[in-house]
Copies of this chain bind each other. A is one copy, B any other.
Amino acid sequence: MKEENISVTNILTDYLNRRKYRKTPERYAILDKIYSIDGHFDAEGLYESMQNEYRVSLATIYNTLDLLSNAGLVIKHQFDGFSAQYEKSIGTHIHNHSVCIICGAIKEFTDKKIKKAIQAKEFANFQSTHYSLYIYGKCKKCRNK
């Protein structure tokens, strides 16, 4: 287990304690697996990748992804036309996504000015926790379509 995983494990434990939810081995196994994945993944892929290690049902994968999302440990993306994509959130640099409207290719990028501008935003009646920025357009390959 990476060092990072120790702290996310603690975050999950705190979260479960605070809500009086149960600390099941499935939840920790899924969290652990998620933090070993770099980049995006979907529920099905996570499910399959765990079959040889700690076997959990797809229903539990969905339940747990939802729980971890509420706990701030994963971020959920709904890119157009695909199944929901997830990624770990702790220890991940804040980044944005460019999405090709023709072929669906997704790339990550960072931009300090954008980050600053968004983080400076404050709401009167809304307590923001995170954000997703998707810039749509055409990638190099699809430029002329």
A57 within 8 A of B: no
Q: How far is the CA of A118 from the CA of B117 in the complex (A)?
A: 9
Q: How far is the CA of A137 from the CA of B126 in the complex (A)?
A: 7
**This chain: copies in complex:** 2
A113-136, CB < 8 A from B: 113-114, 116-118, 120-121, 123, 125-136
In the assembled complex, the CB of A135 is this many whole angstroms from the nearest CB of chain B, namely 4
Chain A: interface residue total (CB-CB under 8 A): 38
Chain B proximity mask over A41-82: 1 for CB below 8 Å, otherwise 0: 000000000000000000000000000011000001011100
Q: How far is the CA of A114 from the CA of B113 in the complex (A)?
A: 9
Q: How far is the CA of A48 from the CA of B118 in the complex (A)?
A: 37
Q: List 14 A-B contacts (CB under 8 A).
A: A69-B101, A70-B101, A78-B80, A114-B117, A123-B137, A126-B137, A126-B138, A126-B139, A127-B137, A129-B136, A129-B138, A131-B134, A133-B133, A133-B134
